[in-house]
């Protein structure tokens, strides 16, 4: 494995959940945002695409990295100026479009720069059909095929990590009580770009 980029703050799924809460939607937020966004006006709220610069180059600190804190702030500030109830679908659309465009651009960069023709989506956000469709459309430009799990299999990362742990447990692997949970531990055998 080679780490190309990482999130500098909230992951995409966390951003979906926090914006859903802000808009008065239940948890998990992703499916509710996607449903509302389907009827939203894409021109009503046009939020900046975080860390996506047209003049970005490989080697720049932000070429592959993600950050959604500014996007969340922009949505929060927009909610303070409008009636959330009447603008919910439009706000959801603006947020979702910005987040998806960012994920798609960063993935396109990675596939293009590394000569990859297969892209695999994972995590809870992979159940977002709008993300999958846009990812497939844009990555076809570089001859890449996008693979995404069925929505029922694209669950929260915590559930997938728990399942991976169960596989290891069933295989007889055990850790000592000295094992500590740390979100930034590297994947064994991985290296930075």
Over the chain (193 residues), the average pLDDT of each successive run of 10 is 88 95 95 97 96 90 94 97 97 98 97 96 91 97 94 73 86 87 70 65
Residue 66: what are its φ and ψ, rounded to 5°?
-125, 150
135 and 121 in contact (C-beta within 8 Å)? yes
Spatial separation of the C-alpha atoms in residues 64 and 103, rounded to whole Å: 9
Give buried/exposed letters for 76-106 (b at 16+ CB in 10 A, else e). Answer: eebbeeeeeeebbbbbbbbbbbbbbbbbbbb
Secondary structure class of 145 (helix, strand, coil) = strand
pLDDT at 73: 96
pLDDT at 20: 98
pLDDT at 152: 78
Spatial separation of the C-alpha atoms in residues 134 and 38, rounded to whole Å: 14
- Does this model's pTM top 0.75? yes
């Amino acid at each position: 494995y080679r780490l190309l980029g990482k999130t500098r703050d909230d992951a995409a799924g966390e951003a979906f959940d926090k914006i859903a809460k802000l808009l008065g939607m239940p948890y998990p937020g992703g499916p509710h945002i996607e449903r509302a966004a389907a009827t939203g006006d894409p021109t009503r709220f046009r939020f900046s695409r975080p860390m996506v610069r047209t003049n970005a180059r490989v080697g720049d600190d932000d070429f592959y990295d993600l950050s959604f804190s500014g996007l969340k702030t922009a949505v929060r500030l927009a909610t303070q100026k409008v009636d959330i109830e009447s603008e919910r679908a439009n706000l959801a659309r603006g947020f979702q479009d910005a987040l998806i465009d960012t994920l798609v651009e960063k993935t396109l960069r990675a596939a293009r720069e590394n000569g990859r023709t297969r892209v695999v989506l994972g995590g809870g956000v992979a159940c977002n059909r709008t993300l999958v469709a846009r990812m497939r459309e844009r990555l076809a430009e570089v001859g890449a095929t996008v693979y995404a799990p069925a929505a029922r299999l694209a669950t929260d990362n915590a559930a997938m990590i728990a399942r991976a742990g169960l596989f290891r447990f069933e295989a007889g692997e055990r850790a000592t009580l000295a094992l500590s949970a740390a979100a930034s531990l590297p994947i064994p055998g991985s290296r930075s770009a």
